Amino acid sequence: MNALLALSRAIDGVTERIGRTVYWLVLAVVLISAANATIRKAFNYSSNAYLEIQWYLFSVIFLVGAGYVLLHNAHVRIDIISGRLSARAQNWIDVFGIVFFLFPMAFVIMKLSWPLFMDAYTRNEVSTNAGGLVVWPARLLVPIGFFLLIVQGISELIKRIGFLMGRAPNALAKAHGKTAEEELAEEIALQRARDEQGSRP
Amino acid sequence: MTAWLIANIAPLMFVTLVITLLIGFPVAFSLAAVGIFWAIVGIELGLLQPTLIQALPDRVWGVMSNDTLLCVPFFTFMGLILERSGMAEDLLDTIGQLFGPLRGGLAYAVIFVGALLAATTGVVAASVISMGLISLPIMLRYGYDRRLAAGVIAASGTLAQIIPPSLVLIIMADQLGKSVGDMYAGAFIPGIILAFLYAAYTMGVTIFKPQWAPALPLEARSLREPNGKSGIVSVGVLVALSAAAAVAYGKIYLKDSPLDETIVISTCVGTAVAFVAAVINKVLKLGLLSRIAERATFVMIPPLALIFLVLGTIFLGVATPTEGGAMGATGALIMALARGRLTWKLLRQAMDTTAKLSTFVVFILIGARVFSLTFYGVNGHVWVEHLLTSLPGGQLGFLIVVNILIFVLAFFLDFFELSFIVVPLIGPVAEKLGIDLIWFGVLLGVNMQTSFMHPPFGFALFYLRSVAPAKQYLDKLTNKLTDPVTTGQIYWGAVPFVLIQIVMIGLVILFPQMVMVYKSTDSTVDPSKVQIQLPPSESGAPAGGSQPGQPETTQQMEEDDKRGNEDAQSLEDAFKSTPAPAPGVPPPPK
């Protein structure tokens, strides 16, 4: 079990690093899209490559980042029932879900999407849009994304079982510091206090 | 057994879905797993072609190449940067001062600012938190009824859900196969009317219970003139002047333009007049404008500029919604930078949150698309259609039942889940019944907005609770002990607004005209999509990868999914979303 928990920590470390790298693409896509729109209007020049690169990059964000979102337990759940259950029950649900839902579906999609990538790669397929991009990198994102999802799923499974065996903390209860909303509230409150002090002698 | 299974596979699939969703595993994975499980069962039973499952990667590919979805990260990112830029605080302070002297003025200010923030891409949580921290203490200080104060703040925060550019509307448009620009144009008037209904309720309160919403006393008005006057006359003059300029410009130069174009450009002209007047007054120290008039003009400029950058360009047909979102996000970055609020930490947080939210949203969509592949394969849509078209009362009966259904489901599901799972099932039925899908989408949007404020699960109430004083506290300004706001007061405060919401649903059903104005603005958004948006053809699929009769493009495939094989409609929609003949062609002249 210790070896497995060490493996889980290693996976978490890698996933965290991937996620923190991938999220910079958000800024990149925003700037590319805004620049593309401006240039198109101002100079009446545009290329399909700029449009396609936007969704390529966005696909990187959500496919390669899927494991990162799983690590942070940010995939949405309907918790009206499970929210009332004990921590053990919640962990059992996840064990069941990871084994019977996550693994099969990610495996099927990964396996089926691989031939599409191979095909695009061997034929060096190019987008049918004029001036479009090479297709295979985007095709490759699907198997990579679902592979990373499975790997992170393995780590989550180890953590859930570790908790059920009393060998690891409850990953589901882990508070990831403050929520974004709490931070916003704190910042506004702080600003308020500063203003009020400034306005009174 | 096998025969029974084959006959009832669609309902069985639906029941499995409900059960698996309820156990509380992430929705995206459960949806996809149920879809794949039943696909295998269907194939084993000989009900489905083995090639069906080969179409799975196409489902993922279709989601990837759907560039409407880019709106999700763009608008999310914009909202996250904006909420930290200090714009909302400035607006609330100044507009509060402006309206404060009226009875119920602070409540009007909250509604007005709520609508304004909503139109810049409000985030419900951020609006409610800002208002709860800035306006609520002032309302409590001057004796507002706690229920009224809480209700107004929670409800105004949720306006972000229905006033464009909102994510709900984008996703609704995508799921119903309609253009986002039309959905925005259709939702605009209902959104404004809703804000007016909130204001009308507040006015009713000030008439029947004046003590619930007193005017600000003189000493609380900090933006007075040196000689003690309020300076409100100056505001009136400036507003009248700007409005006159706007109307005159619209009447003289824009006689033949479509309605939305006239509104956008006239508003720009009016705003420009006010802005120039304020700048001249400030630079030359003329003293013609009062402090409050000058200040109000300056705080209104950033949000109005952003609204123009996003909504204005979309309504003018200059930008697609996706581009509008990117422009808005860039504008928000520039504004935050200019105000000195943009830090590395904030930027990283915003990117992180955006990446997480977009990922979970897109994954729910992928899951739903995988589910629907099988569900449509086993003719589940026919089953749903049969269930819903057999309702008595035709269109009206259908609308009432669907709205009740969504209203109830919204207690448990958030709007992403509703839009991705429920809307694709009921949309085609609505269309069969001759219901305009934009009207239908706006209706559902107003309905889902309610889910943010109905007690006890409404998110707006939850965020308000997190920032409203929970204990007795000493008001620093007046040195008086102030009572806390109880959770019960927040819940009861929301109830009148939930009722207003239900009234609004009724109004939208009774007066579809307020949505249908989008038709008069048809010339706007779509022709401006200059580039060909067709995803690469599916010819690269391996042997057996294409189903027989599979349409050429993913876009059309998606359309077909939604409405069976109504070819004419599919073609029309495919045309709508891919209107341009060739890349690089400028939009047709107006």
- Inform me whether the C-beta atom of residue B370 falls under 8 Å from chain A C-beta atoms: yes
Query: A53 to chain B, minimum CA–CA distance in Å?
Result: 10
Query: B450 to chain A, minimum CA–CA distance in Å?
Result: 18
Q: Which mean pLDDT values do the consecutive 10-residue runs of chain B (590 residues) have?
A: 84 91 92 94 89 88 90 92 87 88 91 92 84 90 92 94 89 90 91 95 93 84 74 82 86 75 83 86 80 85 89 85 91 91 91 93 93 90 86 86 90 84 90 92 92 84 90 83 90 94 94 85 44 40 37 40 40 38 36
- Inform me whether the C-beta atom of residue B30 falls under 8 Å from chain A C-beta atoms: yes
Interface of B with A in 276-335 (CB under 8 A): 318-319, 322-323, 325-327, 329-330, 333
Do the Cβ atoms of B70 and A58 come within 8 Å?
yes
Spans in chain A with pLDDT lower than 70: 174-178, 196-201
Q: What is the DSSP letter of B47?
A: S
Do residues B587 and B523 touch, judged by C-beta distance below 8 A? no
3-state secondary structure of B582: coil
Give pLDDT, residue A176: 55
Residue B108's identity, in one-letter code, is: Y
Interface of A with B in 107-146 (CB under 8 A): 108-109, 112-113, 115-116, 119-120, 123, 125, 127-132, 135, 138-139, 141-142
Pick from A61, A97, A182: which is nearest to B29 by CB?
A97
Tell me the two tokens of residue A46.
């545009």
Give the max Cα distance, chain A: 75
Rounded Cα distance, B178 and B176, in Å: 6
ipTM for the complex? 0.93
Do residues B107 and B149 touch, judged by C-beta distance below 8 A? yes
Rounded Cα distance, B23 and B105, in Å: 47
Give pLDDT, residue A177: 60
Chain B positions in Cβ-Cβ contact with residue A26 (cut-off 8 Å): 73, 77, 350-351, 354-355, 358
Residue A16's identity, in one-letter code, is: E
CB atoms within 10 A of CB B487: 16
Q: Phi-psi bin for B543: left (phi > 0), alpha (psi -120 to 50), beta?
A: beta
Q: State the best of B84, B94, B351 to mutate against chain A, taking most chain A CBs within 10 Å.
A: B351
Chain A residue with Cα closest to B410: A78
Do the Cβ atoms of B540 and A47 come within 8 Å?
no
Rounded Cα distance, B153 and B461, in Å: 9
For residue B489, the number of C-alpha atoms closer than 13 Å in the C-beta half-sphere is: 19
Give pLDDT, residue A175: 54
Residue with tokens 């569900």: B375
Question: How many residues comprise chain B?
Answer: 590
**Chain segment A111-162, per-residue pLDDT in tens:** 999 999 999 999 988 888 877 888 899 999 999 999 999 999 999 999 999 9
**Chain segment B100-126, per-residue pLDDT in tens:** 888 999 999 999 999 999 998 768 888
Chain A residue with Cα closest to B38: A105
Tell me the two tokens of residue A11.
């996976």
Rounded Cα distance, A98 and B33, in Å: 10
Query: B132 to chain A, minimum CA–CA distance in Å?
Result: 9
3-state secondary structure of B151: helix
Query: B477 to chain A, minimum CA–CA distance in Å?
Result: 9
Count contacts between A and B (CB, < 8 Å).
Answer: 267
Do the Cβ atoms of B25 and A96 come within 8 Å?
yes
Pick from A36, A66, A184: which is nearest to B84 by CB?
A184
- Inform me whether the C-beta atom of residue A186 falls under 8 Å from chain B C-beta atoms: no
Q: State the best of A15, A26, A99 to mutate against chain B, taking most chain B CBs within 10 Å.
A: A26
Give pLDDT, residue B207: 93
- Inform me whether the C-beta atom of residue A81 falls under 8 Å from chain B C-beta atoms: yes
How wide is the angle at C-alpha B44 spanned by C-alphas B43 and B50, nearest 5°?
A: 30
Q: What is the DSSP letter of B586?
A: P
Q: State the best of B531, B537, B585 to mutate against chain A, taking most chain A CBs within 10 Å.
A: B531
3-state secondary structure of B472: coil
Do the Cβ atoms of B60 and A142 come within 8 Å?
yes
User: In terms of C-beta density within 10 A (0-12 exposed, 13-18 middle, 19 or more buried), how is residue B220 classed?
Assistant: middle
Characterize the bridge pairing of strands B481-482 and B473-474.
Answer: antiparallel
The helix or strand, by DSSP H or E, that contains position B473, with its residue range, turns out to be strand B473-474
User: In terms of C-beta density within 10 A (0-12 exposed, 13-18 middle, 19 or more buried), how is residue B494 classed?
Assistant: buried
Cis status, amide bond into B165, omega within 30 of 0:
yes
- Inform me whether the C-beta atom of residue B537 falls under 8 Å from chain A C-beta atoms: yes
Do the Cβ atoms of A125 and B536 come within 8 Å?
yes
Chain B positions in Cβ-Cβ contact with residue A55 (cut-off 8 Å): 64-67, 69-70
Give pLDDT, residue B554: 40
Do residues A94 and A163 touch, judged by C-beta distance below 8 A? no
Do residues A143 and A119 touch, judged by C-beta distance below 8 A? no
Distance, CA of B322 to chain centre: 14
**Strand partners for B89:** none
**Strand partners for B474:** B481
Question: How many residues comprise chain A?
Answer: 201
Q: Phi-psi bin for B544: left (phi > 0), alpha (psi -120 to 50), beta?
A: left
CB atoms within 10 A of CB B568: 7
Chain A residue with Cα closest to B310: A34
For chain A, the distance separating the N- and C-terminal CA atoms, rounded to the nearest angstrom, is: 63
Rounded Cα distance, B20 and B73, in Å: 28
Tell me the two tokens of residue A26.
């958000």
Pick from B29, B35, B355: which is nearest to A23 by CB?
B355
Q: What is the DSSP string of B237-268?
A: HHHHHHHHHHHHHHHHH-TTS-HHHHHHHHHH
Query: B241 to chain A, minimum CA–CA distance in Å?
Result: 32
Chain A positions in Cβ-Cβ contact with residue B340 (cut-off 8 Å): none
Tell me the two tokens of residue B50.
């083995």
Give pLDDT, residue B569: 41
Q: What is the DSSP letter of A128?
A: S
Chain B positions in Cβ-Cβ contact with residue A38 (cut-off 8 Å): 327
